[in-house]
C-alpha cells in the first residue's frame, strides 16, 4: 500500500475543487425553481426554470416528494414546497441570530472603506446601536453601544424612517420630540427623508448628530417579518470629497445587499 499523501498546492496554485454529489446539486436547482416561482408550479414550469427536460425534472420531483421536500396537489397536479421543507425553514429561522451574522461582515466593510462602521436595531424608542467597529480615521466622538439615536438627524434614523411602517416610527418620533402628535412641518420632513432614502438607497447626513462627521446608512433586510437592521459608515467630514461619497455609498449598498441575501431575504 502506498504511503503517499496528496500534495498541497504550491504557492500561486489554486486548491483543487472539493468533490460533491452532482445529483444533490441538481436537485437543489429544482427546489430553487420552486422558490423563485413564488407559488405552486406545473412540471413544465419547473423544468423550464431549472433548465431541465421535463422527464429529468420529474424524476427529481418524485425523489424530493418521497422525503417531503416537495408536495404535489392531488387536484391540480402542481408542485409546491413540502412539509419537510417548511419544517426546515422554520427551524432555520429559529436558529438564526441576525445581529451576530451581520456583525461578522462589519469588519470587512470597515477594512474595504477604512471608515468606522456601526450596526443598529430598532428599539422601543428608536434606533439602537448594537455594534461599533472603529476605522482608521479619528472621529471627534463616538456613540456608545446601547445608545438610542435620533430619527430625524441621524443617517441610521433616516434609513429606519424609509423602511419601517409609519405606525412603528411615529410613536418613537413623537417620544423623541416630546410631543403627542407630529405637526405638519415634521411630517413634511419625514416624507422628504423617506422619499430621498428610497430613491438613493442610502441615508446621508453631515453633522446631524456629531459636528464634523458624515454618515451613510443602508438597511439589511431579513427573511421573515422582522424589522430590518441598519449598517452605517461613519467618517470625518474633513477629507471626504463629493467623489468619495458615491464610491462609499456603492460599497455600503453592495455589502448590505450581500448581508440581506445571507439572511435569506429575496428581492
Task: Please write the tens of the pLDDT for every residue from 138-197.
Answer: 888 778 888 889 999 999 999 999 999 999 999 999 989 988 889 999 999 999 999 999
Q: What is the pTM of this model?
A: 0.66
pLDDT at 99: 83
Cα dist from 136 to 31, 109, 142, 236, 262, whole Å: 44, 12, 13, 11, 27
Q: Minimal CA–CA distance to 32: which of 50, 17, 45, 55?
A: 50
Q: How far apart (Å, rounded) are the C-alpha atoms in residues 135 and 105?
A: 14
Helices marked H in 145-233 — which ranges? 155-163, 166-177, 184-200
- From residue 159, alpha-carbon distances to 55, 193, 264 in Å are 48, 9, 20
| Tens digits of residue pLDDT in 101-136 | 888 899 999 999 999 999 998 888 889 898 999 999
Q: What are phi and psi of 70, to 5 degrees?
A: -130, 165
CA distances from 104 to 97, 111, 119, 181, 253 (A): 11, 13, 11, 39, 16
Torsional sign, CA 44, 47, 51, 52: negative
pLDDT bin (cut points 50, 70, 90) of residue 100 is: confident
**Residue 9: what pLDDT?**
47
> How far apart are alpha carbons 237 and 216 in whole angstroms?
12
H/E element holding 129?
Answer: strand 126-133
* Residue 11 scores a pLDDT above 50: no
- Indicate the pLDDT class of residue 3, thresholds 50, 70 and 90: very low
Contact 106, 131 (CB under 8 A): yes
Nearest in space to 224 (alpha carbons), one of 259, 198, 194, 260? 260
Whether the Cβ atoms of residue 133 and residue 118 lie closer than 8 Å to each other:
yes
Question: In the predicted model, what is the mean pLDDT of the chain?
Answer: 86
Contact (CB, 8 A) for 202 and 216: yes
Distance CA 88, CA 3 (A): 43
Tell me the average pLDDT across 230-241: 89
Apex 211 CA angle, 209 and 214, nearest 5: 75
What's the pLDDT at 152?
A: 93
Amino acid at each position: 500500500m502506498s504511503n503517499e499523501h496528496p500534495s498541497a498546492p504550491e504557492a500561486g496554485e489554486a486548491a483543487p475543487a472539493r468533490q460533491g454529489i452532482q445529483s444533490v446539486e441538481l436537485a437543489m436547482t429544482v427546489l430553487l425553481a420552486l422558490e423563485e416561482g413564488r407559488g405552486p408550479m406545473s412540471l413544465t414550469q419547473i423544468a423550464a426554470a431549472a433548465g431541465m427536460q421535463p422527464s429529468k425534472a420529474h424524476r427529481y420531483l418524485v425523489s424530493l416528494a418521497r422525503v417531503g421536500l416537495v408536495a404535489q396537489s392531488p387536484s391540480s397536479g402542481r408542485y409546491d414546497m413540502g412539509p419537510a421543507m417548511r419544517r426546515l425553514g422554520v427551524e432555520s429561522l429559529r436558529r438564526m441570530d441576525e445581529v451576530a451574522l451581520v456583525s461578522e461582515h462589519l469588519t470587512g466593510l470597515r477594512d474595504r472603506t477604512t471608515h468606522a462602521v456601526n450596526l443598529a436595531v430598532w428599539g422601543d424608542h428608536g434606533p439602537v446601536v448594537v455594534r461599533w467597529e472603529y476605522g482608521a480615521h479619528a472621529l471627534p466622538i463616538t456613540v456608545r453601544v446601547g445608545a438610542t439615536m435620533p430619527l430625524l438627524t441621524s443617517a441610521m434614523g433616516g434609513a429606519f424612517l424609509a423602511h419601517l411602517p409609519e405606525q412603528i416610527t411615529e410613536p418613537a418620533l413623537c417620544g423623541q420630540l416630546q410631543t403627542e402628535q407630529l405637526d405638519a412641518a415634521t411630517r413634511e420632513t419625514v416624507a422628504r427623508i423617506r422619499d430621498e432614502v428610497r430613491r438613493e438607497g442610502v441615508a446621508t447626513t453631515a453633522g446631524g448628530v456629531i459636528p464634523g462627521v458624515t454618515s451613510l446608512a443602508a438597511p439589511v433586510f431579513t427573511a421573515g417579518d422582522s424589522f430590518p437592521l441598519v449598517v452605517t459608515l461613519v467618517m470625518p467630514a474633513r477629507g471626504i470629497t463629493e467623489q468619495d461619497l458615491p464610491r462609499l455609498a456603492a460599497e455600503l449598498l453592495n455589502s448590505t445587499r450581500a448581508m440581506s441575501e445571507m439572511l435569506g431575504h429575496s428581492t
